[in-house]
């Protein structure tokens, strides 16, 4: 690697920050299926059991502290965390939580 490729230039433009009325939607992917017993622990999130064996938790997260709280719950399950993705800002249409029941 050459020195001129070693460092990336950072932009001076700030990323938009959510206002209190903007809730960020996250998808948290976990390796393995959660049982129905965990539904209450992740209240407010949609729990989707995927065919590949993963569980997808999707829903509103008000701030970084709340996100870290969710990740702590995932850690306590003992299942591997696959990914955490910020999906969108929820500006005009509030997120409606649904829990998948199978």
Pick 9 or 82 by higher pLDDT: 82
**Residue pLDDT, tens place only, 3-17:** 555 555 555 555 555
In a domain, 3, yes or no: no
In a domain, 52, yes or no: yes
Pick 5 or 64 by higher pLDDT: 64
In a domain, 75, yes or no: yes
**pTM summary value:** 0.66
In a domain, 1, yes or no: no
Say whether pLDDT at 90 is over 80.
no
Number of domains the chain is built from: 1
Say whether pLDDT at 77 is over 60.
yes
Give the per-residue SS3 of the chain: CCHHHHCCCCCCCCCCCCCCCCEEEEEEEEECCCCHHHCHHHCCCEEEECCCCEEEEEEEECCHHHHHHHHHHHHHHCCCEEEEEEEEEECCCCCCCCCCCC
- Rounded distance, CA 67 to CA 5, Å? 34
């Amino acid at each position: 690697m050459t020195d001129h490729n070693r460092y990336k230039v950072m932009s001076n433009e700030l990323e938009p920050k959510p206002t209190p009325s903007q809730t960020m939607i996250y998808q948290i992917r976990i390796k393995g299926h959660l049982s129905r017993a965990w539904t209450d622990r992740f209240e407010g999130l949609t729990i989707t059991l995927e065919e590949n064996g993963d569980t997808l938790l999707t829903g509103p997260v008000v701030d970084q502290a709340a996100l870290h709280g969710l990740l702590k719950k995932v850690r306590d399950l003992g299942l591997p965390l696959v990914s955490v993705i910020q999906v969108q800002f929820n500006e005009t249409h509030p997120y409606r939580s649904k829990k998948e029941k199978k």
